[in-house]
Amino acid sequence: MTHAYQTEKTLSALFFKQAEKFSDDLFLFGKFEKGAATQKWIGMSWGKASDQVRKIGAGLIELGLNKGDRAAIFSHNRPRWVIADQAIQAAGGWGVPIYPTSTDDQLAYILNDCRAKVVFAGDEELVRQVLRVKPNTPALKYIICMTPMIPMADASLINFDDLGERGVNSDKATAEMESRRASLCAEDVAAIIYTSGTTGEPKGAVLTQSNFMSDVGMMLDATVTNKMMERGIRLCSLCHLPLCHIYGRTSDYHVQIAMAGQMWFAESYQKVPQNLMEVRPQMLITIPRLYEKVYEMVNVQSAKMSGVRKKVFDWSLRVGNQVVDHLSSGKKLPPILSLKFGLAAGLVFDRVRKAAGLDRLVFAGSGGGALSAETNRFFRAMNIQLVEGYGLTETTSAITWNSLEFLKPMPDKWIYRKALDYLIDTMVVMQSQGKSAFAHPIGMFKLSLASNLVLPQMIQKPGTVGRACKDTEIKIADDGEILARGPQVFHRDKGYHNRPDWTAEAFTEDGFFKTGDIGHFDRDGYLTITDRKKEILVTAGGKNIAPHPIELALTLDIYIEQACVIGDAKKYIAALLVPQFELLEKWAKKNGIGFSSREELVKNPAVYKFYKEKVDKVNLKLARYEQIKKFSILPVSFSEQSGELTPTQKIKRRVVNQKFPREINSCYESD
């Protein structure tokens, strides 16, 4: 069976094809009504979405947007983000998404670098921010307000709905929009996406329609996904990663268009736990920190258990880990282990999933950073297929994907095809309805057959980011850097906008993109990421140390929220630790430790001793030269707003070094 994403050449053509086929079905959900925030979920059909795209696209042309002109989107996630992006493409423009958390300087830099003629602003606060920088952005002519504003304070301001009216009232602009949309081709530019800048100035990666469409094809190139689409199974997702980031854009937005699913837009990252309970999504694309939060929550609750309840929980987790070990190594599940797993699901795992709003979850994706193998194992033990991938803005997201997949082709026999159908029946259909296959005799039979015939041949390795995507070449340079080449990698003739020098430096002579990450393959071709090449610490003794795995090990402790390892050009490794303050404060009160502020709390000798025990525990698993000799406990958290984190919660090590010199120096005062 051929699907629309395999026949259409552009994202715009794919969107309109799906909108025509599923016109009356609901597509976009958000807590917005006519652009204004509301307290209830409002759905928009595919047909209504495509009508709005046509109106806004024609409206842009009526304003004077020419083919190849830039139009920026400066907004938090919402249905109108997707409408705006599709309208820009339909009008022949280049979309430029900008993080809504950007400072005035960052906003002005991007608007000037891409010479945006139009910017869509999400709410009144963002509109005011654009107005502040407008005098310094000469190319900018119009600001489109997604949230209705009355009265309009500036002649350049236009309400979203008013722009649509301009479009629908102009037959000429409408005809021109349809002509441009029909003429879009694979090599046309779709977007300039600026990197979030962990190590310096943002770079604008120019990505074509073919880059995006190749990526969609790669992410959907899996046996289970193909089977789902053949059977017309469509899932709903809770979209909360910034759509201006390549990972959220491709894995949520583009994949849901290709699968004709539903996108529910979370109110904010902080409200994700609440929205999970409201939506109970069947698909979840997020960063490692959210999964780690769920894992921490379960660990906190298990620490409070005692007696029989505690024994049952620990037994269930051991059983789940045994199942994961079998499946990760291609071993069949012994009948007794299958029965134990079913019992563990009924007693523990199903309840945990429901408490977190994950009881209908079929597919969970993790990216934007490393996920610990321990966290991955925990979710797989709960019968949630947590899939990791790896990629960058310049590679249009994925170059590897750790999907549940056959290492060798499935035998072409009726019993194996039937077992695969049973796998879809139980782990997709039933699970998407919030039902447990273990609670139904027929479901148990189907899952048992699939577990013996199909699952042992479908390998997924926790702790890796999977194997190379379809049509993608990956090799490791002599210094360990990961190099990639494929149709999703941005083109050398386009590269970084306005920076041919950066583009030239980004490729090897034989055309491989230099990812800047260090990694290695195992014997089955599964890739493990070690760290960023630029973030490798070199001690005074000449030892190369990857900080991220150490930070990951530290933050697995429920009392450590964040960690930043330091030690470049120093005699030894040290760390800055950010406590999980809610838990630490409870621990302090329980142990009779008084404090009037967090500053006073983290300076308490008993607290330092408490954290030293945790650091020492991590040190036991590290080589001597990697061990943390000293650490400083911070009274504040790293955040995107204060500048230490990127929008995907990666640490900006350069910023941390600039903002905490006293705390860093205290780790080396006696050096």
- Looking only at the bridges linking them, the beta strands covering 189-194 and 204-208 are antiparallel
Greater confidence, 73 or 349? Answer: 73
Cα dihedral 98, 196, 376, 477 in deg (nearest 10): 130
Side by side, the strands of the sheet bearing 573-579 are 560-566, 573-579, 628-633
Say if residue 647's pLDDT is above 80: no
Q: What is the spatial distance between Cα 378 and Cα 381, in angstroms, rounded to a whole number? A: 5
Cα dihedral 476, 481, 487, 492 in deg (nearest 10): -130
The candidate with the shortest Cα–Cα distance to 649, out of 371, 272, 287, is 287
Q: What is the pLDDT of residue 606?
A: 95
Nearest 5°: the CA angle 558, 559, 561 is 85
Q: What is the spatial distance between Cα 49 and Cα 53, in angstroms, rounded to a whole number? A: 6
Over residues 358-364, mean pLDDT: 92
Identify whether the C-beta of residue 253 lies closer than 8 Å to the C-beta of residue 291.
no
Q: What is the spatial distance between Cα 378 and Cα 384, in angstroms, rounded to a whole number? A: 9
Say if residue 670's pLDDT is above 70: no
Q: To the nearest whole number, what is the mean pLDDT of the chain?
A: 91
SS3 call for 411: coil
What CATH number labels 536-666?
A: 3.30.300.30
What the block records as the tokens of 300 is: 């906190």
Identify whether the C-beta of residue 189 lies closer than 8 Å to the C-beta of residue 206.
yes
Q: What sign has the CA pseudo-torsion 312, 317, 322, 324?
A: positive
Say if residue 230's pLDDT is above 60: yes
Secondary structure in 3-state letters for 196-215: CCCCCCCCEEEEEHHHHHHH
Q: What is the spatial distance between Cα 149 and Cα 151, in angstroms, rounded to a whole number? A: 6
Say if residue 300's pLDDT is above 90: no
Over residues 263-270, mean pLDDT: 93
Q: What is the pLDDT of residue 198?
A: 47
Over residues 615-639, mean pLDDT: 93
Share of the chain above pLDDT 70, in %: 99
Residue boundaries of the structural domains of the chain: 4-185, 536-666
**Per-residue model confidence as pLDDT tens digits over 391-429:** 999 999 899 988 877 777 788 889 989 999 999 999 899
Q: What is the spatial distance between Cα 13 and Cα 503, in angstroms, rounded to a whole number? A: 29
209-218, 315-324, 366-375 — which is least confidently predicted? 366-375
Identify whether the C-beta of residue 434 lies closer than 8 Å to the C-beta of residue 345.
no
Share of the chain above pLDDT 90, in %: 65
Q: What is the pLDDT of residue 369?
A: 76
**Prior bond of 151 cis (ω within 30°):** yes
SS3 call for 565: strand
Over residues 422-443, mean pLDDT: 89
Banded model confidence at residue 110, pLDDT cuts 50, 70, 90: very high
Tell me if 4-185 shares its fold with 536-666.
no
Q: What is the pLDDT of residue 157?
A: 94
- Looking only at the bridges linking them, the beta strands covering 94-98 and 70-74 are parallel
SS3 call for 596: coil
Banded model confidence at residue 575, pLDDT cuts 50, 70, 90: very high
- Looking only at the bridges linking them, the beta strands covering 236-239 and 189-194 are unpaired
Q: What is the spatial distance between Cα 8 and Cα 17, in angstroms, rounded to a whole number? A: 8
The candidate with the shortest Cα–Cα distance to 116, out of 169, 173, 174, 156, is 156
Q: What is the pLDDT of residue 447?
A: 84
Domain 4-185 CATH class label:
alpha beta
Contacts of 500 (CB under 8 A, 6+ apart): none
Over residues 131-145, mean pLDDT: 96
Say if residue 166's pLDDT is above 90: yes
Identify whether the C-beta of residue 87 lies closer than 8 Å to the C-beta of residue 114.
no
Write phi, then psi, for 552 (nearest 5 degrees): -65, -45
**Per-residue model confidence as pLDDT tens digits over 328-354:** 777 788 888 888 888 998 889 888 899
Banded model confidence at residue 578, pLDDT cuts 50, 70, 90: very high
Say if residue 199's pLDDT is above 60: no
Say if residue 374's pLDDT is above 90: no
